[in-house]
Structure 1
Amino acid sequence: MEVVLEMTLPRNAESAPLVRHTLDASLRGLGVGSEIRADIALALGEACANVIQHAANGKDYEVRARMDGVRCVVEVIDGGPADGASVNGVEDEWGSANVAPLSEHGRGIQLMRAFTEELQIADRVHRDGAIVHFEKSLAG
């Protein structure tokens, strides 16, 4: 069975828990174990938090997820560059650069890389914004 979720969410703090819970319920329904669901929820939370905090354009953002029992593929799509920065600026903001051990910010990419596979951050083609794409094997 394949499950596809597509959500358009307001860029506010209340939207991130909603999308995490919705995706988690779908994964649970497919019989995915709690550890894998937690990894996906953490990565999704980081991606959503970055859009909510830093996307300069747009009132909304999109989350698309596809689960086929073997793999979960997630894309978080924002409406503009982070604070006017390029995608490389987004990566630097999220923590691909060195981050102080006790820093409160800047670990998003590091966490997403640690808990998922196939992490990519790219500019949207022919539109402002960026796409955060990650995948996670559902075999555990």
Structure 2
Amino acid sequence: MSIWWSLHLRREAASVPLARRLLLGTMETAGVDREISYELAVALSEACANAVEHGTNERTDAYRVTACIDGDTCHVEVTDAGPGFPDTDTPDADASGTDASGTDTPAEHAPAEHAPAPAGAPFAPPPAPAPPVAEDGRGLRIIETLADHVRFHNRPNSGGAVVSFDKILKWRDDSLLKVS
């Protein structure tokens, strides 16, 4: 059995705990280990906070959160309509998986925690670390630390950033969805 949900939320601070509580309620009902649930909730909160802070344009003031539990994996994706991640066209590799010379650049050459961006989506590199005295700028790094696989990319054609991450689930003994 799979559980899937999607929310379209206004870019308001109050939307962040709403998304987090829905995820935590789903995890609790399904029987996911509380520590794993908490880590997913913190990662989701960081992704939503980034969408609220950075994800606006003149067309819309909303963002989308989608979550899916399928088997022993939870996949979460937060998509906004803002300017997206900085343009990162580099001679090393493009989103098609080839470098400037046309040579394939296999995914195994990418950092382990980052999967390649979907075809046509500009690749967004891992975020730079925040300065030690900065009061913000750590959200994407927190997501990287808490999730098993993380992808940062821009939405092709329509603009906006996409932060998606996966986490392998552990189940409580009383779990309704425990994978055998």
What TM-score do you get using the length of structure 2 for normalisation?
0.69
Post-superposition Cα deviations, 1:102-135, rounded to whole Å, max 9, x if no partner, equal 3211111211111002111111122111111100
Post-superposition Cα deviations, 1:65-106, rounded to whole Å, max 9, x if no partner, equal 001240100000001215xx6265xx79xx822322232111
CA shift in 2, pair 1:79/1:28, >3 Å: same
Runs (5+) with no aligned partner, structure 2: 89-123, 172-180
Are 2:166 and 1:135 aligned? yes
Q: Which residue of structure 1 aligns with residue 73 of structure 2?
A: 71
Q: Which residue of structure 2 aligns with residue 104 of structure 1?
A: 135
Higher share of residues assigned helix: 1
Matches of 1:139 and 1:7, distance apart in 2: 25
Matches of 1:81 and 1:100, distance apart in 2: 23
Higher share of residues assigned strand: 1
Q: What RMSD in Å do the two structures reach over aligned CA positions?
A: 1.9
Post-superposition Cα deviations, 1:26-74, rounded to whole Å, max 9, x if no partner, equal 1111100110011001110000001101123121100000012401000
Structure number with bigger Rg: 2
Alignment of 1:1-140 (within 5 A): 1-57=1-57, 58-82=60-84, 86=86, 96-139=127-170
Q: How many residues align?
A: 134
Matches of 2:87 and 2:47, distance apart in 1: 13
Q: Percent identity?
A: 36
